[in-house]
Amino acid sequence: MRFLKRLLRRGLYLRFLPLIPQLPNFIRLGWRLFRDRRIPVSLKSMVVVGVLYILSPFDIMPDFFFPGLGYLDDLTLLAFIGYAFIRWSPPAVVNEHVSAIGGRFQRTFHQWYSGFRPPASRFPSG
């Protein structure tokens, strides 16, 4: 609860506002990366397992017992999976797909992901 108060007081949530209009483009980027053969299968499997968990009836915080908050774990996991999938994908491949989507998304993406250096050997190719 203290974390949430600190987050709201500092206005850190405002950092996410420019991303909201770009959500369809982030989804498009994720789909393009998922279909790309240069992305490691192990990284794609992380996405599949995460989506299966979100779709499964089993939850860490069941929706029935925690109305409203029950969806929070699903939303958090979905945000983490999307972020990690893009972060851990090869930067050259990500930049190629971001350029293909283009427009305002390209500028928003590079502001959001500026200077990232993903771990090189986190996911072996293949």
Count of domains for the chain: 1
The residue range of the domain holding 71 is 21-56+67-103
Please give the span between the terminal C-alpha atoms of the chain, in angstroms, as a whole number: 42
Q: What is the mean pLDDT of residues 12-17?
A: 66
On average, the pLDDT of the chain sits at 79
Which pLDDT value is given to residue 117? Answer: 47
How does pLDDT run across 30-67, given as a tens digit for each residue?
999 999 999 999 999 999 999 998 888 777 777 677 67
121 located within any domain: no
122 located within any domain: no
87 located within any domain: yes
pTM of the model: 0.74
Residue type, 91: P
78 located within any domain: yes
**Residue that the structure tokens 């992305």 belong to:** 39
How does pLDDT run across 59-97, given as a tens digit for each residue?
777 767 767 776 777 888 888 899 899 989 999 999 999
Which pLDDT value is given to residue 17? Answer: 72
84 located within any domain: yes
> Is residue 121's pLDDT more than 50?
no
35 located within any domain: yes
CB 112 within 8 A of CB 55: no
The secondary structure element, H or E, covering residue 65 is none
4 located within any domain: no
92 located within any domain: yes
